[in-house]
Amino acid sequence: MKVKAAVAHSAKQPLSIEMVDLEGPKEGEVLVEIKATGVCHTDAYTLSGADPEGLFPTILGHEGAGIVVEVGSGVKSLQKGDRVIPLYVPECRHCKFCLSGKTNLCQAIRETQGKGVMPDGTSRFSLDGKMLHHYMGTSTFANYTVVPEIALAKIREDAPLEKVCLLGCGITTGIGAVINTAKVQVGDNVVVFGLGGVGLSVIQGAKLAGANMIIGVDINPNKKALGKKLGMTNFVNPKEIEGDLVPYLVNLTNGGADFSFECIGNVNIMRQALECCHKGWGTCVIVGVAGAGEEISTRPFQLVTGRTWKGTAFGGTKGRRDLPKIVDWYMEGKINIDDLITEFMPIEDINKAFELMHEGKSIRSVVIF
Ligand code: APR
Ligand code: ZN
């Protein structure tokens, strides 16, 4: 079939809107009509050419939501008409990782997903007979896409897809980092570095978990108002304080954070995030993605004296198990998605979403098909 897609022909080029060919779902695959998709930094990172795993030409996008149109042979858990969120971290429930109960990093289709193809090693997308790569196993910058069954979370029918699409990445990452990875307890003091879509969602998660102080750190003063609305108790602008940030935060929390979250992807801030943690037990969770080849450092004494460095991908979320529940939280008013959407636009304007992101003006732009 012919579908409308934003094609990334090569790095550093604007996306071009084209009618491309999409083959139907093969065994274990599902054809999904994408109704809405967020535009995320990871898409921009790959498009910039800095992603060593980036493959072109491709159809980017991994923060989508849609409706099942057709299922391939052997698909049992989904049927036509189901509402779904594609998962760049799948959940096969059979691999060593899934069965461990210790991680969300299902490895069932990791290799082919990284190569931009379906689990059978081929692509469903093409343009003028030339293969287009899938991206993160999702390729949501197209009004139809094919996704493996194990990479689709089925959600309730009444959820607005133009909102809950954002649960496919940033918002779930932030909330999950708090609930699944840190396991923040009632009364904990939390410091969040970087108040973009991810950091603001860490704030929401910390509020849900019953944290005491929720301190947001950002160099952009415009982030203060929304942070407060979502549950932030204190805002710290590193440019406005006297002295160094780490002792300032240790003092503010009366000894250090129980948990800190780095939601920027800056290795220098990752060090500050660890060092502002409480001696003896404070834990720093790395959520932001640093550039390829970058390294983190600290004095080992920071760890000897009881601080812990951890990391999380997709907030430790098992998508098929957890996303229906997070959608419920949104529908019940427990989490806020609406205020994180700064722009809606048609696919024809998708390049504007990248511009707004680079200018730091948007939190999330949502493309509606
Ligand atoms: N100190 C404090 N805040 C900073 C700094 C800094 N040195 N540098 C940037 N920031 C703030 C920005 O002002 C912005 O508010 O960090 C925030 C980052 O937000 P976004 O750019 O909107 O990013 P977001 O979508 O939240 O993702 C954050 O997670 O998924 C990854 O790749 C993504 O690494 C990125 C991170
Ligand atoms: Zn698995």
Give me the residue spans of the domains in the chain. 2-168+337-368, 173-313
DSSP secondary structure code for residue 25 in this structure: P
Q: Is the ipTM of this complex over 0.95?
A: yes
Do 173-313 and 2-168+337-368 have the same topology in CATH?
no
Mean pLDDT score, 160-168: 98
DSSP annotation string for 317-354: --HHHHHHHHHHHHHTTSS--GGGEEEEE-GGGHHHHH
Tens digit of pLDDT for each residue in 97-142? 999 999 999 999 999 999 999 999 999 999 999 999 999 999 999 9
Catalytic residue among 18, 92, 112, 343: 92
CB count within 10 Å of CB 353 equals 27
Inter-residue contact 284 to 310 (CB < 8 Å): yes
Q: Which fold has domain 173-313?
A: Rossmann fold (3.40.50)
At residue 29, the pLDDT reads 98
Q: Strand 214-217 to strand 144-148: parallel, antiparallel, or no bridges (unpaired)?
A: unpaired
When pLDDT is cut at 50, 70 and 90, the band that residue 52 belongs to is: confident
Q: Answer positive or negative: Cα dihedral of 40, 46, 52, 55.
A: positive
169 catalytic residue (yes or no): yes
Q: Is 294 a catalytic residue?
A: no
DSSP-H helix ranges across the chain: 41-48, 96-100, 110-114, 161-164, 170-176, 197-208, 224-230, 245-252, 267-275, 301-304, 319-331, 350-358
Q: Which residues' Cβ are closer than 6 Å to ligand 1?
A: 41-42, 170, 193-199, 217-220, 223, 238, 263-266, 269, 287-289
Give residue for tokens 């989904």.
78
Please indicate whether residue 98 is annotated as part of the active site: yes
Q: Is 364 a catalytic residue?
A: yes
Q: What is the dihedral sign for C-alpha 253, 254, 256, 258?
A: negative
How is domain 2-168+337-368 classified at the CATH fold level? Quinone Oxidoreductase; Chain A, domain 1 (3.90.180)
Model pLDDT for residues 190-229, shown as the tens digit of each residue: 999 999 999 999 999 999 999 999 999 999 999 999 999 9
Is residue 58 part of the annotated active site? The answer reads no
In this model, does residue 360 exceed pLDDT 90?
Answer: no
Residue nearest to atom 24 of ligand 1 (CA): 196
Write down the catalytic residue from 46, 62, 172, 253. 62
The arithmetic mean of pLDDT across residues 157-161, rounded, is: 98
Beta strands in 39-128, from DSSP E residues, in sequence order? 58-59, 63-71, 83-86, 125-127
CA distance 187 to 243: 28
In 10 A of CB 279, how many CB atoms? 12
Per-residue pLDDT, averaged over 246-257, amounts to 98
Q: Mean pLDDT over residues 90-100, rounded?
A: 98
In this prediction, what percent of the chain has a pLDDT beyond 90?
98
Put residue 28 in one of left, alpha, beta given phi > 0 → left and psi -120 to 50 → alpha. left
User: Which ligand 1 atom is nearest residue 200's CA?
Assistant: 26
Q: Check pLDDT > 90 for residue 317.
A: yes
pLDDT of residue 53: 85
Ligand 1 pocket test target in 198, 245, 264 with most atoms within 8 Å of CB: 264
